[in-house]
Chains A and B, each alone.
Chain A
Amino acid sequence: MSAPLVLGIETSCDETGVGIVRGRELLANVISSSMEEHARYGGVVPEVAARAHLEAIEPALRQALETAGIGFGDLDALAVTAGPGLAGALMVGVGAAKGLATATGLPLYGVNHLVGHVGADLLRPPGEEPSPPLDEPTIALLVSGGHTSLLLVRDLVTDVELLGETIDDAAGEAFDKVARILGLPYPGGPEIDRAAVGGDPAAIRFPRGLTQQKDLDRHRYDFSFSGLKTAVARWVERARDEGRPVPVADVAAGFREAVAEVLLTKAVAACVDSGVPRLLLGGGVVANARVRALAEERCAAAGIALRVPPLSLCTDNGAMIAAVGAGLVTAGRPPSGLSFGADSTLPVTDVAVR
């Protein structure tokens, strides 16, 4: 059998994504973002995101088919993000996928969003060299505005284990909140990155959440960014109260350093502890220059092979969902049927829903 042609739909947060893959070959990756509509609120507003998904889904589908140069009749299967994510947003994608499945009779797979981020690494944009197969097992660090998770992936379609996750804010959320404290616009990630240029990351030492021995016993691979955000707010408020100018570059650099260090310290520890010398990064925070640089540095020092998919596949997209769908088809896994719903807290162990 030739590689399956799969269309994937992603609507778990603020990006409406439709992707088409043939096995591991990326044919289309259309993303329509409602980010600008959320900017004035300083974060993703679920109802605004869900409304935007309904508006964007049909144009995104049309454009993806056109880009891939195929029709619905050419497809072998459909895949859609079933969770985790924002419930109302997920439901638009699930409803859309079921409309397609019933009109076409194609098998439908309800896919785990986080596993999708791992699946993204299998793909390469058109014109680029195909990536080598995903070496399994691998540790995966997925960081975005919606999640911060550390996974042990033994097999992409059958065996994914959650090692740890954030116990409060996602890392990307912390970037947004600290940007707001510093008077910078949303989304915070690129703003903090820009503001940190020329800053001294060691000038202010902000706390590293869940890295002390007493926390490590219970939360070895978990993350916490809420305390860090509060520490930044406190520091900035004190400076303002005392009438001192806020050294924005130093604050941004110090904050970013604290986030990057916790992320990579824990990810490398997971690699070492599990004897898995491979680390895969995913999620929008991968765009952060310091996170990427520190990942390269730490992995090189520890003899860990680092893989970072292209940015267009790191942020939420439908192609990564299609990639997992194609993996499920190739592995001969049965489709999810038509009765599944959106599961905002779908555990990562459920690669596909039943």
Chain B
Amino acid sequence: MLLAIDSSAGTSVAVVDRAYGVLAEASVDDNMRHAEVVGELIEAVLRESGAVVSALAAVAVGVGPGPFTGLRVGMAAARTFALAAGIPLLGVVSHDAIALGAYGGEGWGELLVTTDARRRELYWSRYEGLDSLGLPRRAAGPALARPDEIPSAPRRIDATAVSAASLGLLAERVRASGRAAEPIEPLYLRSPDVTLAVPKRVTS
């Protein structure tokens, strides 16, 4: 059983179990209120699932890509929750969770996933079905591009939300497979927006 958190779009939290599936999921789509809602959502899914912290085997966290400010809130909460609970933290590319949800149980075929990167750009990833472990096979991405630069695909999902339940189920499959999880580094895909300060004259 594990706790899953994603804040790469809105904020989504779930408790999932490999054998019993999704035990609880709670989400807030508002993409400006991550810091306000993340604690209550965690508390809500623990209560609803009846899971005690000591029964959790790991925390899964969406590492993005996603707008930075919100993404960091979920990642910070997941890191400290795992630290305090003394359990491992597993990174999951948030697009992979979207792809898993889109493919369902026995997905195949090419799939393009995009999410909003703001500033008239999109994050995108391209998938080629599920592998033998039931994990989405990411063929390209995640990457950042203008809408007109994104490759076409027979099937495309422009997602506005990421389900922590899908993310958690994906992490459970990765864990069961013994495959290494993704590194727990935020996928910003953009450098901090800074310009070097040039001293300006104040007198003309």
Q: Which residues of A contact B (CB under 8 A)?
A: 40-43, 45, 47-48, 50-51, 53-54, 57-58, 61-62, 72, 87-88, 90-105, 108, 180-181, 230, 233-234, 237-238, 241, 338-342
Q: Which residue of A lies closest to B188 (CB)?
A: A51
- Hey, which chain B residues are within 8 Å of A95, CB to CB? 34-35, 38, 72-77
Is the Cβ of B196 less than 8 Å from the Cβ of A103? no
Report the separation of the CA atoms of residues A230 and B199 in the bound assembly, to the nearest whole angstrom: 12
A234-B203 contact, Cβ under 8 Å, with A87-B69, A94-B73:
yes
Q: How many residues of B contact A (CB 8 A)?
A: 39
Q: Which residues from chain A contact B53 at a C-beta distance below 8 Å? A: 103, 105
Known: A99-B84, A339-B37. A58 touches B79 (CB 8 A): yes
What is B's interface to A at a CB cutoff of 8 Å? 33-40, 42-43, 46, 53, 68-69, 72-85, 186, 188, 192-194, 196-197, 199, 201-203
Q: What chain A residues lie within 8 Å of B85 (beta carbons)?
A: 103
B177 to chain A, nearest CB (A): 26
Would you give the shortest CB distance from B191 to chain A, in whole angstroms? Answer: 9
- In the complex, how many angstroms separate the beta carbon of A36 from the nearest chain B beta carbon? 15
29 A-B pairs whose Cβ atoms sit less than 8 Å apart in the complex: A41-B197, A47-B192, A51-B72, A57-B76, A57-B79, A58-B79, A58-B80, A58-B83, A62-B83, A88-B72, A90-B35, A92-B72, A95-B75, A95-B77, A96-B77, A97-B80, A98-B38, A98-B39, A98-B77, A99-B38, A99-B79, A102-B46, A103-B82, A103-B85, A180-B197, A237-B201, A241-B203, A339-B40, A341-B36
* Given A72-B84, A338-B39, A339-B39: A92 in contact with B76 (beta carbons within 8 A): yes
Report the minimum CB–CB distance from A66 to chain B (whole Å).
Answer: 12
Q: Is the Cβ of A233 less than 8 Å from the Cβ of B192?
A: no
Min distance, Cβ B88 to any Cβ of chain A, angstroms: 13
Other contacts beyond A50-B72, A105-B53, A237-B201: 9, CB < 8 A: A54-B76, A54-B79, A88-B68, A91-B76, A95-B72, A96-B80, A98-B35, A98-B38, A341-B35
Report the Cα distance A58→B78, complex, angstroms: 11
- The smallest beta-carbon distance between A209 and chain B, in angstroms, is 16
Distance in angstroms between the alpha carbons of A10 and B18 in the assembled complex: 37
CB-CB < 8 A to B193: which residues of A? 47
CB atoms of A103 and B79 under 8 A apart: no
